[in-house]
């Protein structure tokens, strides 16, 4: 008789993730077992010739055989565990699957110090992980600083910093996180409530972090399954009281908003929101790749701007790899606020993307990002220039991404740059009526000057 369906589900999810980890070369490739012996030393001591020995002298001792090369250690995968049902289920599945795939399995729990007795609880969780057969196991205490982003964001930042440190110290190939399909639905709903763009609606990625360190095997598994898996395996779990505290936005979404939606719309809301996350992520990845192509084709560094060949007026012609082709620059009368007159002489615009060659997708900003000669890369007076006519020709989704990247390049903090800021920047292109300059977070100013959109850090002298 096989395992309970809930146990089988979590083990299958972890098995698939471990197969993915093993298929990607990671830091474990260079790890060497400490007991395997050191490699022969390189350098003069290893290569210096020995003195000649006369024939009549005593025979020399036999040359010792070189030590066998050390065996590389199997890859190490860590599980981040809070002691809750989701992460305990994940830890149990990792402990079961890892030895069968030749993977070392360890665990780490983070003590945020936000509740009385948190240190003792963290040690208890570490003991449970050890009992499951995980090694190494660490309990890490962090200090939550007061920030303008709120306690939830500050705790998350401290937690990931601690996980990064442990993973790097042990050379872990991956760190598994216990986010479930329910968590994904909550994330999408929070992004929707903020009026965020496609990237925010894409929720949490199955793979994220430096070199794909963080893996979320349970994004296709619901919370009820993880709790059931813990119950049938007699795994003790700890329910964080913060998860039920209405003072936290996510808690209200979990216990009030989602149940109300399910009651009004019927079952399946959580699955639909999680599916929306994946579809949105696919769209966002495609749009970001398109924007990357545009930037590669048109980005100009300060050194290029200062080049003797650069007159400051000519626009370089770009092509986006093999999928792009040239298209004419839009006519001046088609761009709001543009001065009438003959259009630029045969300056092509690079067109890229699924509609390459169509007028509707008439491509990219040819002079996308420039800097004035002598401007520093960061700090005050950073200046970014965008060509209005060519920027106007971009599809809105790509154009707004270019605008956002330009604002960040000029010094606007990404976390403070919201959709309304990008919309106002876009209106300087699409609804030009002689508006005044815009002020963005981070002392960044955006102004339209002739045929250019100038984004600069600091006020002009």
Evaluate if residue 304 carries a pLDDT over 70.
no
Predicted pLDDT of residue 220 = 93
What confidence tens digit (pLDDT) does each residue in 172-187 have? 999 999 999 999 999 9
What confidence tens digit (pLDDT) does each residue in 101-141 have? 999 999 999 988 777 788 899 999 999 999 999 999 999 99
Beta bridge partners of 32: 72
Question: Is 416 known as a binding-site position?
Answer: no
Cα(10)–Cα(14) distance, rounded to whole angstroms?
A: 6
Predicted pLDDT of residue 286 = 83
Cα(372)–Cα(296) distance, rounded to whole angstroms?
A: 19
Per-residue confidence band for 386, with pLDDT thresholds at 50, 70 and 90: confident
Question: Is 85 known as a binding-site position?
Answer: yes
Evaluate if residue 41 carries a pLDDT over 60.
no
Per-residue confidence band for 389, with pLDDT thresholds at 50, 70 and 90: confident
Question: Is 92 known as a binding-site position?
Answer: no
Predicted pLDDT of residue 358 = 33
**Do the bridges between strand 444-449 and strand 452-457 make them parallel or antiparallel, or are there none, so unpaired?**
antiparallel
Residue 92's Cβ-count burial label (10 Å; 0-12, 13-18, 19+) is buried
Predicted pLDDT of residue 61 = 58
Predicted pLDDT of residue 55 = 43
Predicted pLDDT of residue 146 = 73
- Contact in structure between 391 and 315 (CB atoms under 8 Å): no
What confidence tens digit (pLDDT) does each residue in 318-349 have? 323 333 333 344 444 455 555 544 433 333 33
Residue 210 corresponds to which tokens in the numbers above? 């430096």
Question: Is 83 known as a binding-site position?
Answer: yes
Question: Is 148 known as a binding-site position?
Answer: no
Predicted pLDDT of residue 100 = 96
Higher pLDDT, 17 or 363: 17
Per-residue confidence band for 418, with pLDDT thresholds at 50, 70 and 90: confident
**Do the bridges between strand 438-440 and strand 444-449 make them parallel or antiparallel, or are there none, so unpaired?**
antiparallel
Cα(158)–Cα(155) distance, rounded to whole angstroms?
A: 5
- Contact in structure between 410 and 384 (CB atoms under 8 Å): yes
Q: Which of 141-150, 162-171, 225-234 is the least confident region? A: 141-150
Question: Is 257 known as a binding-site position?
Answer: no
Helices 85-97, 5-22: axis angle to 10 degrees equals 60
**Do the bridges between strand 137-141 and strand 104-111 make them parallel or antiparallel, or are there none, so unpaired?**
parallel
Residue 308 corresponds to which tokens in the numbers above? 């003797």
**Size of the chain, expressed as the number of residues it contains:** 461
Higher pLDDT, 395 or 237: 237
H/E segment holding residue 423: helix 419-430
Instruction: Please report the DSSP string for 141-176 in residue order.
Output: E--PPP-TT-HHHHHHHHHHHHHHHHHHHHT-SEEE
For the chain, first and last CA: distance in Å? Answer: 79
Per-residue confidence band for 359, with pLDDT thresholds at 50, 70 and 90: very low
What confidence tens digit (pLDDT) does each residue in 42-95 have? 333 333 433 444 444 445 555 656 666 667 789 999 999 999 999 999 999 999
Instruction: Please report the DSSP string for 74-135 in residue order.
Output: PPEEEEE--SSHHHHHHHHHHHHHTGGGT-EEEEEEEE---STTHHHHHHHHHHHHHHTT-S
Chain centre distance of CA 370: 27
Predicted pLDDT of residue 37 = 37
Q: Count the neighbouring beta carbons within 10 Å of the beta carbon of residue 264.
A: 8
Predicted pLDDT of residue 64 = 59
Domains of the chain listed by start with CATH number: 5-22+72-285 (3.40.50.620), 299-457 (3.30.465.60)
Evaluate if residue 387 carries a pLDDT over 80.
yes
What confidence tens digit (pLDDT) does each residue in 271-281 have? 999 988 888 88
Q: What average pLDDT is seen over the chain? A: 76
């Amino acid at each position: 008789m096989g395992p309970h369906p809930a146990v089988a589900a979590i083990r299958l999810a972890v098995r698939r993730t471990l197969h993915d980890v093993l298929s990607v070369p990671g830091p474990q490739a260079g790890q060497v077992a400490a007991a395997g012996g050191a490699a022969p030393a390189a350098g003069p001591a290893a290569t210096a010739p020995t003195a000649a020995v006369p024939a009549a002298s005593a025979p020399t001792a036999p040359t010792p055989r070189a030590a066998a090369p050390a065996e590389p250690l199997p890859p190490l995968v860590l599980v981040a565990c809070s002691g809750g049902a989701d992460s305990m289920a994940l830890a149990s599945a990792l402990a079961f699957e890892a030895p069968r795939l030749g993977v070392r399995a360890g665990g780490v729990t983070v003590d945020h110090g936000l509740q009385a007795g948190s240190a003792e609880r963290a040690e208890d969780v570490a003991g449970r992980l050890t009992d499951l057969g995980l090694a190494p196991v660490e309990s890490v205490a962090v200090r939550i600083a007061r920030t303008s982003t709120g306690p939830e964001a500050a705790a998350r930042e401290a937690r990931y910093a601690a996980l990064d440190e442990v993973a790097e110290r042990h050379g872990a190939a991956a760190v598994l996180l216990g986010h479930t399909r329910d968590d994904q639905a909550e994330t999408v709903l929070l992004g929707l409530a903020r009026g965020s763009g496609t990237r925010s609606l894409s929720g949490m990625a199955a793979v994220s972090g430096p070199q794909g360190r963080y893996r979320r095997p349970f994004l296709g598994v619901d919370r009820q399954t993880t709790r059931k898996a813990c119950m049938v395996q007699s795994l003790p779990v700890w329910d964080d009281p913060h998860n039920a505290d209405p003072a936290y936005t996510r808690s209200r979404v979990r216990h009030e908003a989602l149940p109300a939606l399910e009651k009004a719309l019927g079952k399946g809301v959580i699955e639909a929101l999680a599916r929306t996350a994946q579809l949105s992520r696919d769209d966002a990845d495609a749009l970001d790749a398109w924007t990357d192509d545009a930037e590669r084709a048109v980005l100009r560094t300060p050194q290029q701007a200062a080049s003797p060949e650069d007159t400051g007026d000519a626009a370089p012609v770009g092509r986006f790899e093999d999928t792009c082709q040239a298209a004419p620059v839009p006519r001046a009368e088609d761009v709001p606020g543009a001065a009438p007159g003959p259009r630029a002489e045969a300056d092509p615009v690079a067109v890229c993307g699924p509609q390459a060659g169509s007028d509707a997708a008439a491509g990219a900003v040819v002079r996308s990002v420039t800097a004035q000669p002598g401007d520093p890369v960061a700090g005050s007076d950073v200046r970014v220039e965008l060509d209005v006519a060519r920027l106007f020709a971009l599809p809105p989704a790509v154009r707004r991404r270019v605008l956002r990247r330009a604002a960040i390049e000029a010094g606007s903090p990404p976390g403070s740059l919201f959709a309304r800021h990008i919309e106002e920047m876009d209106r300087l292109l699409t609804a030009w009526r002689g508006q005044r300059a815009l002020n963005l977070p981070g002392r960044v100013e955006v102004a339209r000057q002739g045929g250019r959109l100038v984004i600069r850090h600091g006020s002009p002298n």
